[in-house]
Amino acid sequence: GAVVSQHPSWVICKSGTSVKIECRSLDFQATTMFWYRQFPKQSLMLMATSNEGSKATYEQGVEKDKFLINHASLTLSTLTVTSAHPEDSSFYICSAIGAGLAGVEQYFGPGTRLTVT
């Protein structure tokens, strides 16, 4: 149980275009979802926290107009990278906390590798 999926697993796009990444909780309802970015050989950096039906809370230094987060349902959150540039190339990982699940464990998605050319 407690499976989180992401789609796509990898994507290549041209500079200036927008890319949408989906994060789904498959067998539980996610009250809160988190979006992380991980550059090569670096740690996970939290970008934003989203709760279903409300605006996301962005971490300091993360441009909310560039990284659009929509948590439209208890099983789906999306991250849209708008006007992507090569420096946005990274591994994007979501995680979710489940309503009714025991403990405070975050369940991580498999990640999406974004390459902007």
Partner 1 sequence: GENVEQHPSTLSVQEGDSAVIKCTYSDSASNYFPWYKQELGKRPQLIIDIRSNVGEKKDQRIAVTLNKTAKHFSLHITETQPEDSAVYFCAASIDTGFQKLVFGTGTRLLVSP
Tell me: does residue 113 bind partner 1 (CB under 8 A). yes
Tell me: does residue 104 bind partner 1 (CB under 8 A). yes
Evaluate the CA torsion angle 87, 20, 41, 95 in order and state its sign. Answer: positive
Stretch that binds partner 1, among 22-30, 62-70, 72-80, 101-109 (CB under 8 A): 101-109
Per-residue contact flags (x/-) with partner 1 for residues 9 to 48, judged by CB under 8 A? -----------------------x-x-------xxxxx--
Candidate residues 69, 93, 114, 116; the one interacting with partner 1 per rule CB under 8 A? 93
Per-residue contact flags (x/-) with partner 1 for residues 51 to 90, judged by CB under 8 A? x-----x---------------------------------
Residues 80 and 62: their CA atoms lie apart, in Å, by 13
- From residue 105, how far is each of 2, 15, 33, 47, 111 by CA, in Å? 10, 36, 12, 18, 17
CB 105, min distance to partner 1, A:
6
* SS3 assignment, position 54: coil
Give the count of alpha carbons within 13 A of 59, CB side only. Answer: 10
- From residue 51, how far is each of 14, 85, 92, 109, 115 by CA, in Å? 30, 27, 18, 17, 27
Residue numbers of the site for partner 1 (CB under 8 A)?
Answer: 32, 34, 42-46, 49, 51, 57, 91, 93, 97, 104-106, 108-111, 113
